[in-house]
Amino acid sequence: MSDYRALHQYADSNAASYDARRFRALKGRVVDRLEWRLLERAITDLVAHVGPLPRVVDVPVGTGRMARRIRAKGCYVVGVDASPDMLALARAQDSADEYATARVEELSRAVPEVDCIVSVRLFGHLPADAKGSALREFSKVATKGAVVFFAGDTAWLRLRRAVQGRLGRQLESWSPLTAAEARKLAEACGFVVLGVRSLGPLSETRALILAIRDAARPAPAGSANAGHRRGSASSRGAVS
Protein backbone atom coordinates (compact mmCIF):
# COMPACT_ATOMS: atom_id res chain seq x y z
CA MET A 1 0.00 0.00 0.00
CA SER A 2 1.09 3.58 -0.64
CA ASP A 3 2.55 5.76 2.06
CA TYR A 4 1.39 9.37 1.97
CA ARG A 5 1.60 12.45 4.14
CA ALA A 6 -1.96 12.41 5.46
CA LEU A 7 -1.31 9.09 7.21
CA HIS A 8 1.14 10.76 9.56
CA GLN A 9 0.27 14.44 9.85
CA TYR A 10 -2.86 14.19 12.02
CA ALA A 11 -1.39 12.90 15.25
CA ASP A 12 -0.66 14.28 18.72
CA SER A 13 -0.77 18.10 18.82
CA ASN A 14 -1.75 18.33 15.13
CA ALA A 15 -4.91 16.37 15.91
CA ALA A 16 -5.65 18.31 19.09
CA SER A 17 -5.44 21.69 17.32
CA TYR A 18 -7.08 20.63 14.05
CA ASP A 19 -10.49 22.24 14.50
CA ALA A 20 -9.07 25.39 16.08
CA ARG A 21 -6.60 25.90 13.22
CA ARG A 22 -9.05 25.22 10.42
CA PHE A 23 -12.55 26.12 11.56
CA ARG A 24 -12.47 28.64 14.43
CA ALA A 25 -11.77 31.80 12.41
CA LEU A 26 -14.50 33.36 10.25
CA LYS A 27 -13.16 31.86 7.01
CA GLY A 28 -12.98 28.42 8.59
CA ARG A 29 -16.53 28.66 9.94
CA VAL A 30 -17.81 29.62 6.50
CA VAL A 31 -15.94 26.72 4.86
CA ASP A 32 -17.28 24.32 7.49
CA ARG A 33 -20.87 25.37 6.79
CA LEU A 34 -20.38 25.24 3.02
CA GLU A 35 -18.87 21.75 3.22
CA TRP A 36 -21.78 20.51 5.30
CA ARG A 37 -24.29 22.07 2.90
CA LEU A 38 -22.53 20.39 -0.02
CA LEU A 39 -22.51 17.03 1.77
CA GLU A 40 -26.15 17.33 2.83
CA ARG A 41 -27.28 18.12 -0.73
CA ALA A 42 -25.21 15.30 -2.18
CA ILE A 43 -26.73 12.85 0.29
CA THR A 44 -30.20 14.13 -0.65
CA ASP A 45 -29.39 13.45 -4.31
CA LEU A 46 -28.24 9.93 -3.43
CA VAL A 47 -31.37 9.20 -1.38
CA ALA A 48 -33.52 10.22 -4.35
CA HIS A 49 -31.97 7.36 -6.32
CA VAL A 50 -31.36 4.61 -3.76
CA GLY A 51 -33.77 5.28 -0.88
CA PRO A 52 -33.07 5.86 2.82
CA LEU A 53 -29.53 5.57 4.18
CA PRO A 54 -29.94 4.67 7.87
CA ARG A 55 -26.39 3.30 8.36
CA VAL A 56 -23.42 5.43 7.32
CA VAL A 57 -19.64 5.15 7.55
CA ASP A 58 -17.78 8.46 7.78
CA VAL A 59 -14.15 8.01 6.71
CA PRO A 60 -12.00 9.73 7.73
CA VAL A 61 -14.16 10.85 10.61
CA GLY A 62 -11.50 13.26 11.88
CA THR A 63 -12.80 15.14 14.91
CA GLY A 64 -16.35 14.14 14.02
CA ARG A 65 -17.67 17.42 12.65
CA MET A 66 -19.61 15.77 9.79
CA ALA A 67 -20.44 12.58 11.69
CA ARG A 68 -22.24 14.54 14.41
CA ARG A 69 -24.42 16.29 11.85
CA ILE A 70 -25.24 13.06 10.02
CA ARG A 71 -26.06 11.38 13.32
CA ALA A 72 -28.33 14.28 14.25
CA LYS A 73 -30.37 13.40 11.14
CA GLY A 74 -31.17 10.02 12.70
CA CYS A 75 -28.49 7.87 11.04
CA TYR A 76 -26.41 5.21 12.76
CA VAL A 77 -22.85 6.39 12.12
CA VAL A 78 -19.59 4.43 12.17
CA GLY A 79 -16.58 6.73 12.44
CA VAL A 80 -13.35 5.46 10.89
CA ASP A 81 -9.93 7.10 10.87
CA ALA A 82 -6.33 6.03 10.39
CA SER A 83 -5.29 8.38 13.21
CA PRO A 84 -6.03 7.08 16.73
CA ASP A 85 -5.60 10.66 17.99
CA MET A 86 -8.27 12.06 15.67
CA LEU A 87 -10.54 9.15 16.50
CA ALA A 88 -10.13 9.86 20.22
CA LEU A 89 -11.27 13.45 19.66
CA ALA A 90 -14.33 12.25 17.74
CA ARG A 91 -15.14 9.79 20.50
CA ALA A 92 -14.74 12.46 23.19
CA GLN A 93 -17.44 14.50 21.45
CA ASP A 94 -19.78 11.50 21.06
CA SER A 95 -19.67 11.95 17.30
CA ALA A 96 -20.61 8.42 16.18
CA ASP A 97 -22.22 5.20 17.36
CA GLU A 98 -19.19 3.04 16.60
CA TYR A 99 -15.51 3.73 15.96
CA ALA A 100 -12.74 1.89 14.11
CA THR A 101 -9.10 2.65 13.45
CA ALA A 102 -8.23 1.73 9.87
CA ARG A 103 -6.69 2.97 6.67
CA VAL A 104 -9.22 3.65 3.97
CA GLU A 105 -7.61 1.02 1.75
CA GLU A 106 -8.49 -1.62 4.39
CA LEU A 107 -11.99 -0.44 5.22
CA SER A 108 -13.79 -3.73 4.52
CA ARG A 109 -11.68 -5.47 7.17
CA ALA A 110 -12.63 -2.94 9.83
CA VAL A 111 -16.36 -2.32 9.45
CA PRO A 112 -19.50 -4.26 8.47
CA GLU A 113 -21.65 -3.45 5.46
CA VAL A 114 -23.58 -0.17 5.67
CA ASP A 115 -25.90 1.71 3.35
CA CYS A 116 -23.57 4.58 2.53
CA ILE A 117 -19.98 5.81 2.76
CA VAL A 118 -19.21 9.50 3.13
CA SER A 119 -15.65 10.74 2.69
CA VAL A 120 -14.74 14.40 3.12
CA ARG A 121 -11.23 15.91 2.95
CA LEU A 122 -9.44 12.71 2.04
CA PHE A 123 -9.21 12.04 -1.69
CA GLY A 124 -7.16 15.14 -2.43
CA HIS A 125 -4.43 13.67 -0.22
CA LEU A 126 -4.40 10.22 -1.81
CA PRO A 127 -2.02 9.23 -4.60
CA ALA A 128 -3.62 7.72 -7.70
CA ASP A 129 -3.27 4.07 -6.71
CA ALA A 130 -4.71 4.69 -3.26
CA LYS A 131 -7.73 6.48 -4.76
CA GLY A 132 -8.63 3.34 -6.70
CA SER A 133 -8.03 1.10 -3.69
CA ALA A 134 -10.25 3.30 -1.53
CA LEU A 135 -13.12 3.29 -4.02
CA ARG A 136 -12.95 -0.48 -4.37
CA GLU A 137 -13.17 -0.77 -0.59
CA PHE A 138 -16.15 1.59 -0.59
CA SER A 139 -17.92 -0.62 -3.12
CA LYS A 140 -17.39 -3.63 -0.83
CA VAL A 141 -18.77 -1.93 2.29
CA ALA A 142 -21.59 0.24 0.90
CA THR A 143 -24.75 -1.55 -0.22
CA LYS A 144 -26.36 1.57 -1.75
CA GLY A 145 -23.82 4.27 -2.50
CA ALA A 146 -21.26 6.85 -1.45
CA VAL A 147 -20.54 10.56 -1.41
CA VAL A 148 -16.87 11.27 -1.97
CA PHE A 149 -15.30 14.73 -1.90
CA PHE A 150 -12.36 15.21 -4.24
CA ALA A 151 -10.13 18.05 -5.40
CA GLY A 152 -11.12 19.15 -8.88
CA ASP A 153 -8.32 19.94 -11.32
CA THR A 154 -9.59 23.44 -12.06
CA ALA A 155 -8.05 26.48 -13.73
CA TRP A 156 -8.37 28.32 -10.41
CA LEU A 157 -6.38 25.62 -8.58
CA ARG A 158 -3.67 25.67 -11.25
CA LEU A 159 -3.45 29.48 -10.98
CA ARG A 160 -3.14 29.30 -7.18
CA ARG A 161 -0.36 26.73 -7.49
CA ALA A 162 1.49 28.89 -10.02
CA VAL A 163 1.26 31.97 -7.79
CA GLN A 164 2.34 30.01 -4.72
CA GLY A 165 5.25 28.54 -6.65
CA ARG A 166 6.46 32.02 -7.63
CA LEU A 167 6.28 33.01 -3.98
CA GLY A 168 8.36 29.99 -3.02
CA ARG A 169 5.47 28.29 -1.27
CA GLN A 170 3.68 25.02 -1.86
CA LEU A 171 -0.01 24.25 -1.53
CA GLU A 172 -1.07 21.24 0.50
CA SER A 173 -0.34 17.95 -1.18
CA TRP A 174 -3.59 17.89 -3.15
CA SER A 175 -3.76 15.30 -5.91
CA PRO A 176 -6.55 16.72 -8.10
CA LEU A 177 -8.77 15.01 -10.67
CA THR A 178 -10.87 16.36 -13.50
CA ALA A 179 -14.57 15.48 -13.32
CA ALA A 180 -14.05 13.08 -16.23
CA GLU A 181 -11.17 11.34 -14.45
CA ALA A 182 -13.21 11.03 -11.24
CA ARG A 183 -16.14 9.53 -13.14
CA LYS A 184 -13.95 7.04 -14.98
CA LEU A 185 -12.25 5.92 -11.78
CA ALA A 186 -15.54 5.48 -9.89
CA GLU A 187 -17.13 3.52 -12.73
CA ALA A 188 -14.10 1.22 -12.93
CA CYS A 189 -14.60 0.48 -9.22
CA GLY A 190 -18.23 -0.63 -9.59
CA PHE A 191 -20.21 2.58 -9.11
CA VAL A 192 -22.78 4.44 -11.15
CA VAL A 193 -21.99 8.16 -11.12
CA LEU A 194 -25.19 10.06 -10.35
CA GLY A 195 -23.64 13.51 -10.41
CA VAL A 196 -20.92 15.89 -9.30
CA ARG A 197 -21.61 18.92 -7.13
CA SER A 198 -19.28 21.85 -6.49
CA LEU A 199 -18.63 23.77 -3.28
CA GLY A 200 -18.56 27.02 -5.24
CA PRO A 201 -17.18 28.73 -8.36
CA LEU A 202 -13.76 29.48 -6.82
CA SER A 203 -13.33 26.20 -4.96
CA GLU A 204 -11.72 22.99 -6.18
CA THR A 205 -13.84 20.96 -3.75
CA ARG A 206 -16.25 18.60 -5.52
CA ALA A 207 -18.70 15.98 -4.26
CA LEU A 208 -18.92 12.80 -6.32
CA ILE A 209 -22.34 11.17 -5.86
CA LEU A 210 -22.14 7.42 -6.40
CA ALA A 211 -24.58 4.52 -6.38
CA ILE A 212 -23.82 0.83 -6.30
CA ARG A 213 -24.93 -0.45 -9.72
CA ASP A 214 -27.70 -2.74 -8.47
CA ALA A 215 -29.06 -0.04 -6.12
CA ALA A 216 -29.42 2.84 -8.58
CA ARG A 217 -32.84 3.79 -9.92
CA PRO A 218 -34.16 6.90 -11.70
CA ALA A 219 -34.82 9.87 -9.44
CA PRO A 220 -38.52 10.65 -8.94
CA ALA A 221 -40.05 13.83 -10.35
CA GLY A 222 -39.38 16.81 -8.12
CA SER A 223 -36.29 15.24 -6.53
CA ALA A 224 -33.03 17.06 -5.89
CA ASN A 225 -31.60 15.81 -9.19
CA ALA A 226 -34.54 17.31 -11.06
CA GLY A 227 -33.50 20.59 -9.44
CA HIS A 228 -30.12 20.35 -11.16
CA ARG A 229 -31.78 20.78 -14.51
CA ARG A 230 -33.61 23.87 -13.34
CA GLY A 231 -30.22 25.54 -12.77
CA SER A 232 -31.17 27.07 -9.41
CA ALA A 233 -28.51 28.97 -7.48
CA SER A 234 -28.35 26.17 -4.90
CA SER A 235 -27.54 23.51 -7.48
CA ARG A 236 -25.27 25.27 -10.00
CA GLY A 237 -22.07 23.35 -10.61
CA ALA A 238 -23.74 19.96 -10.27
CA VAL A 239 -23.56 17.54 -13.17
CA SER A 240 -26.50 15.21 -13.70
Phi first, then psi: give them for residue 29, nearest 5 degrees: -65, -40
What is the fold of 5-230?
A: Rossmann fold (3.40.50)
Find out whether 122 and 102 touch, Cβ atoms under 8 Å.
no
CA-CA distance, 151 to 49, in Å (whole number)? Answer: 24
CA-CA distance, 161 to 186, in Å (whole number)? Answer: 26
Going from the C-alpha of 168 to that of each of 161, 164, 173, the distances in angstroms are 10, 6, 15
Provide the pLDDT for residue 11.
66
Is 0.75 surpassed by the pTM of this model? yes
Task: Write out the chain's pLDDT in tens, 240 residues.
Answer: 666 666 666 666 677 777 777 778 888 899 999 999 999 999 999 999 999 999 999 999 999 999 999 999 999 999 999 999 999 999 999 999 999 999 999 999 999 999 999 999 999 888 888 999 999 999 999 999 999 999 888 767 677 667 767 777 665 556 889 899 999 999 999 999 999 999 988 788 999 999 998 876 765 554 444 333 223 223 323 222
Phi first, then psi: give them for residue 91, nearest 5 degrees: -65, -40
